[in-house]
Amino acid sequence: MRIRFWGVRGSVPTPLTPSRLRSKISSILQRVEPSDLESQEARERFLASLPPYLFSSVGGNTSCVEVELRDDLRIVFDAGTGIRELGRALAARKRPVDCRVFFSHFHWDHLQGLPFFAPAFDPSSRIAYHSPVPGFREIVEAQMRAPWFPVTMDVMRAPREWIELSGEPIAVGDATVSHRTMNHPGGCYSYMVERDGKKVIYSTDTELERSDFLRNGENAAYFENAEALIIDAQYTLDEALEKTDWGHSSFSLAADFASAWGIRRLVLFHHEPSYDDRKIETIFKSAEWYVERLASRGLEVILAREGLEIEV
C-alpha cells in the first residue's frame, strides 16, 4: 500500500500568508554566508542544511489521505481541500480511476474539497462514497446545493455509489476496511485498512480516551501492531489540557497510545491552523524526543506534510 498525503491541516484551510513567507525568506538570508553561494553545489548544501520549516511547509489544505491499493484502485480518506490536488493529479494521468472515498465525519474541513474533485466529473471514472452514518448521502449532497454552491452533485458525471457501512469490514480489492467510533464532538469514525496482514489506521479528529487504551480483544484486533497510525495530534499538551472536550489529542498522548499498542509508525496529522511551520516542526521534534524516552521498540514518528508518501 502506498499512502499519500494531500491535506494535513485541521479545522480550516491555512494558506501560507505573505508575512510568514517573508519571514522565512528573511531568516534564510540571515543565515547565508558568501561561501554558500559560490557554486551550485554550495547552494544545494546550504539549502539542505536549513530546517524544513524555513524552506518548506506542511501545507495548508485540510484532510485528505490516499491509500493506493493498485494503479487503478485507491481508498481516499476524507474530502477536505486536499482532495482537489489529488483530483488534479489523477486527472493528469488521463486514465479512468476507481476511488473509494471514506468519510470520517462531516465537519467542513473533511468535506469542503469534494465539489472540486476532478475525477467525480469524469464519466469514465467510478466513485463510491462510504460512511457508517445512516442517510449520509443527504449530508454530502446538501453542501452542493444553492445557496452554498451554484450546482448540485448531478453535474458530477462519474457513476457514484453510496455505501452505508454496517459493523462488518468491507472488502476493497484485496484489502478490507473496518471502522470504529472515536471520541469527537458529534462523532467521528476511524478506519483501518488491512492487507497481507499489514494494518494502516486513519484516525483523524480524535480525542483519545481511557477506553482506547484498554487491553481487550476488540481494541487489540484494531490497533495492535499496526504498521502506521495516522492520528490527530493537533495540540501541545498544555493546549490539550485547556481544550478538553474539543475533540483533539496532544502529540504526547498520541505517542503514548502508539507505544502502548506496539504501532511501528506514528504519523502526526490534523495540524492546528494557528500554528506556523516552525511550531509544528517543534511539536514533531518534541514527539521524537518523547518517543525516544518511552523506549518503545522502534516506534518511528513522522510529520504529515503535503506530498509525503509512505510505503507499507
CA atoms of 276 and 53, how far apart (whole Å): 9
Query: In this complex, which beta carbon is closest to Zn ion, that of residue 96 or of residue 273?
Result: 273
Which 203-232 residues touch Zn ion, going by CB under 5 A? 205
Question: Distance of alpha carbon 138 from its chain centroid, rounded?
Answer: 24
Task: Give the β-pairing of 170-172 and 160-164.
Answer: unpaired
Q: Is 170 helix (H, G, I), strand (E, B) or coil?
A: strand
271 binds Zn ion (CB under 5 A): no
Candidates 84-92, 104-112, 148-156, 275-283: pick the segment binding Zn ion (CB under 5 A). Answer: 104-112
Which 5-24 residues touch Zn ion, going by CB under 5 A? 10
Query: In this complex, which beta carbon is closest to Zn ion, that of residue 205 or of residue 276?
Result: 205
Q: Which of 66, 85, 109, 212 binds Zn ion (CB under 5 A)?
A: 109
Query: In this complex, which beta carbon is closest to Zn ion, that of residue 24 or of residue 271?
Result: 271
CA atoms of 269 and 132, how far apart (whole Å): 22
Query: In this complex, which beta carbon is closest to Zn ion, that of residue 68 or of residue 239?
Result: 239
Task: Give the β-pairing of 98-102 and 73-77.
Answer: parallel
| Cell numbers 492520528: residue | 231
Q: Is 34 helix (H, G, I), strand (E, B) or coil?
A: helix
Query: In this complex, which beta carbon is closest to Zn ion, that of residue 10 or of residue 113?
Result: 10
Cell of 47: 539549502
Candidates 105-113, 115-123, 219-227, 276-284: pick the segment binding Zn ion (CB under 5 A). Answer: 105-113
Q: Which of 107, 126, 248, 305 binds Zn ion (CB under 5 A)?
A: 107
CA atoms of 239 and 163, how far apart (whole Å): 37
**Contacts to Zn ion by CB under 5 A:** 10, 107, 109, 205
